[in-house]
Amino acid sequence: MSTISERFFLLQSHLEKNCKSKISKITGYVSFTMRKFLFSVLSIGPIPAHVAFIMDGNRRFAKRHTLLQDSIDPASGHRLGFRSLISTIQYCYEMGMKCVTVYAFSIDNFKRSPQEVQLLMDLMREKIEEMSAEDGVLKSLDVKINFWGNLELLTEPTRLSAKRAMDTTMHNKGPVLSVCVAYTSTDEITHAIEASVRDLKGKDQVEVSDLERNLYSASYAEPDIIIRTSGETRLSNFLLWQSDFTHLQNPKQLWPEFSLRHLVLAVLDYQLVYAYLKKRKEEIEKNK
Amino acid sequence: MDGNGRWAKQRDLPRTAGHTEGESSLFDVVEGAIEIGVKAVSAYAFSTENWSRSPAEVKFLMGFNRDVIRRRRDEMHELGVRVRWAGRRPRLWGSVVKELQVAEELTRDNDVLTLTMCVNYGGRAELADAADRMVADARAGRLKRVDERTFAKYLYVPELPDADMVWRTSGEQRLSNYMLWQAAYSEMVFTDVLWPDVDRRDLWRAITTYAERDRRYGSA
């Protein structure tokens, strides 16, 4: 059923792009209704409040589909990855999730060739602008966007786009999208330590709670699930501190292939372990 | 080393029976690691979160850790294993700390494999403790700047390299903030076997899985 719904969704986007608005509205409505039914069935079990994604596999996808040949658009894999991102967050929010966090660009990725890094910086800026536009997803879903990371490392235009997007959506009341760029967990923790040490003043000791307060994610709940696509089983320096009780999943699909049915399976997987995780969490909280 | 409780429950035994059975699993795995050429093994023996278990179980685990270290100390020394303790002092029974310190002293010069016993360990606690030690050094003028590399020197066992592989048994797919700093780029291998049923072959299977993976560290 989800495949049919997805096809309607893709058809709708395609038709919208080609200005066949009446038909696209109908297909959009059909697809939306089918999803609504699917999600209401899913909601019989617990729906995670916060899901994080490591969007791995864009370049491999492009290679596999020989889109990188002739270097027409070396960022093609990432562009497809971006489309996957937009539809995934839409499904997440429709399902009732409050937060989605994504690993968009690691500090380690600066080690790639200067051309690829510049390409990715430009692509990020382009996509931030696209999301922030009048008809973009941030406005239509009332999303509050955060950019977590050492933003000073970004190129100036990209950093400014990010800052603008954060300022414009600061008061949005809808779901939250946290994009990790120029981010590593160890960098985040080091900054938190620096800040905690600076704020020590009279106190003698740095406590776990001090560090927690100074993380980028301070006012948000920890992720319930971290999904890394393309079958890789590493966190690669993503949310190490926050992933204490997080259920780690590694579907073998590459990020551009990650679609509604994979998301539904991920949630079902989570629902199976939910009762056990909840029990363990309560035990520990009780004795803190 | 997850699954002791479940193993015991499956056999209608008390949880402590699972822990007792788990001792031989650990030391078989250590020998298996030596055989295959692994240089460092860290075992999560008692977490800062485990204080939330029943007082009876906690009492058992403290005594058990103390006895196991005392019992296995000479054997480890003979194998050339260097024993290290990673964890924090507060709340930990004095007798356990004493056994750990004796073991560390005895095996100090060994170099076949480093076995780090994580007793009263928590990933977040380790980072907070490291931050404290850094503050002390900074105040004494011994520390100029804080960056990731400097910070790593303040961990419980600073000479330990980052973990290549984190192996969790009993099918749980979580990190439970075990060595969260050192596991930043680790391959995570999840095995369904419960810890008391584990032996060196399970370790070798896990390593085979690890060897098949392609580690890129963020670059091409």
Rounded mean pLDDT, B76-104: 95
Say whether pLDDT at B25 is over 90. yes
Of A206, A208, A248, the CB nearest to B173: A248
Residue B2 token pair: 């997850």
| B104 CA: distance to closest CA in chain A (Å) | 27
Interval A137-169: pLDDT, tens: 999 999 999 999 999 999 999 999 999 999 999
Q: Check CB contact under 8 Å for A106 and B174.
A: no
A3: pLDDT confidence band, cut at 50, 70 and 90?
low
pLDDT of residue A20: 61
Interface contact B174-A287, CB threshold 8 A: no
Q: What angle do CA B53, B55, B58 make, to 5 degrees?
A: 65
Judge whether residue A19 has pLDDT over 60: no
Averaged pLDDT, B62-77: 94
pTM of the model: 0.89
State what percent of residues in chain B have pLDDT above 90. Answer: 76
Give the pair of three-digit tokens for residue B15: 């949880």
Task: Tell me which amino acid residue A72 is.
Answer: I
Q: What is the mean pLDDT of chain A?
A: 88
Mind giving me the DSSP string for chain A?
-HHHHHHHHHHHHHHHHTT-HHHHHHHHHHHHHHHHHHHHHHTTSPPPSEEEEE---HHHHHHHTT-SGGGS-TTHHHHHHHHHHHHHHHHHHHHT-SEEEEEEEEGGGGGS-HHHHHHHHHHHHHHHHHHHSTTSHHHHTT-EEEEES-GGGS-HHHHHHHHHHHHHHTT--S-EEEEEEEE-HHHHHHHHHHHHHHT-TT-S---HHHHHHTSTTTTSPPPSEEEESTT-----SSSTGGGSSPEEE--SS-GGG--HHHHHHHHHHHHHHHHHHHHHHHHHHHT-
**What is the pLDDT confidence band of residue A217, given thresholds at 50, 70 and 90?**
very high
Count of pairs with CB atoms under 8 A, one residue in A, one in B: 123
**CB of A217 closer than 8 Å to CB of A246:** no
Q: Bridge-partner residues for B188, per DSSP?
A: B166
Contact A207 B135 (CB under 8 A): no
How far apart CA A23 and CA A12 sit, in angstroms, is: 8
Average pLDDT rounded to a whole number, residues B106-121: 95
Give me the pLDDT at residue A14, please. Answer: 65
pLDDT for A1 equals 42
Q: Quick one: average pLDDT of A85-91?
A: 94
* Residue type, position B215, single letter: R
Tell how strand B40-47 and strand B113-121 pair up. Answer: parallel
Spatial distance between the Cα atoms of B28 and B212, rounded to a whole number of angstroms: 24
pLDDT digits (tens, 9 = 90+) for A229-254: 999 889 999 999 999 889 999 999 99
pLDDT more than 70, % of chain B: 97
**Residues of chain A numbered 80-109 and touching chain B (CB < 8 Å):** 106-109
Is the pLDDT assigned to residue A67 strictly greater than 50?
Answer: yes
Q: For chain B, what is the mean pLDDT? A: 91
Residues of A in contact with B188 (CB under 8 A): 233-235, 248
User: How wide is the angle at C-alpha A220 spanned by C-alphas A216 and A226, nearest 5°?
Assistant: 85
Q: ipTM value, please give it.
A: 0.88
Q: What is the pLDDT of residue A204?
A: 77
Render pLDDT for A93-137 as a digit per residue (tens, 0 to 9). 999 999 999 999 999 999 999 998 999 999 999 999 999 998 889
Q: Does A211 contact B128 at a Cβ distance shorter than 8 Å?
A: yes
What pLDDT does A72 receive?
Answer: 63
Q: Give B121's contacts in chain A (Cβ within 8 Å).
A: none
| Span A14-39, average pLDDT | 79
